[in-house]
Amino acid sequence: MRDFSQDHSALALNTATLGHNLDGYGAGWSPERVIDACAARGYGGITFWRREIGGQAVQIGQAVRAAGLRVTGLCRTPLLVGPGAPDDVTGDFRASIEMAAGLGADSLTIVVGGVQEGTKGLGESLKIVRDTVARMADEAQSAGVMLGIEPLHPVYAGDRSCLVSVRDAVDMIEEIDHAAVGLDVDVYHVWWDRSLVDQLARLRADQIAGYHICDWLAETRDVLLDRGMMGDGVADLTAIRGAVEATGWRGFCEVEIFSKHWWSRPPEEVLDLCAARFRELC
């Protein structure tokens, strides 16, 4: 495993950590200010949310690289199935690929969506997800963007993600079998999964699209907006990274903390603490 204790250049910021994925939270920093703050602190990359980018993808991507960082990712495609999916999934999916390409982002995260109306259980919805991702994979590859399928914690299965296990995600990646389709591993969603090591062992390094870090608080008050800072919870962060790195993957570790608590703190403090905890604990 890599040793980050003296060097956190493998750390990337997901801007949701500063509240940028929801209205009314965080300090409202511009992308430019986020870029400067990350560069000043030695972060290696930034993952943005579409709502921050608007029509400025190319300019923002250039600004990130000019500051010596990478655009590690973009969040995210539309939900592909279930109650939150838009009428025009294909069109919105395409728009997200184009934005990721404009940014020069390494990957585009897919949160797949919940259970399709009129169906029960997960099976039919998972087939819709698989077929939609397979249909869009060539476009992503042409745009130079890796699609990262992210399984979420089972508590979200109804409305946000019928994909709740790493096993089902790896099955789907194998079925699609496309160079532009891989897995996003998010500590928040997989920390409890005792089969994680065995499932990740089914993947190659180039099938890991992203690795997202935070912690699971033992007394979680809100399953969406009470993620923990690394070290404050019960996830075995080094064991999980070890399982991801056992594939040979050596990419960025992206801190992604949706938390009303941390969004109420000064962004400078949050960025400093993330870097310190990353060096100590991740």
Which residues contribute to the site for Zn ion (CB under 5 A)? 186, 212, 256
CA distance 76 to 149: 10
Pair 139, 94: CB distance under 8 Å:
yes
Beta-bridge partners for 212:
186, 254
**In which residue are the tokens 């914690």 written?**
153
Minimum distance of Zn ion from residue 247's CB (angstroms): 18
Minimum distance of Zn ion from residue 183's CB (angstroms): 11
User: One-letter amino acid identity for 27?
Assistant: A
Closest CA to 145 of 94, 117, 108, 191: 108
Q: With respect to Zn ion, which residue has the nearer C-beta, 47 or 247?
A: 47
Q: What is the DSSP string of 17-29?
A: GGTTTSTT-S---
Q: With respect to Zn ion, which residue has the nearer C-beta, 63 or 223?
A: 223
Minimum distance of Zn ion from residue 279's CB (angstroms): 21
Q: With respect to Zn ion, which residue has the nearer C-beta, 107 or 116?
A: 107
Q: With respect to Zn ion, which residue has the nearer C-beta, 184 or 232?
A: 184
Beta-bridge partners for 108:
74, 147
Say whether 199 sits in a helix, a strand or coil: helix
Q: With respect to Zn ion, which residue has the nearer C-beta, 168 or 256?
A: 256
Buried b (16+ CB within 10 A) or exposed e, 98-118: ebbbbbbbbbbbbbbbbbbee
Q: With respect to Zn ion, which residue has the nearer C-beta, 50 or 212?
A: 212
Minimum distance of Zn ion from residue 14's CB (angstroms): 7
Minimum distance of Zn ion from residue 62's CB (angstroms): 25
DSSP code at position 156: G
Minimum distance of Zn ion from residue 184's CB (angstroms): 6
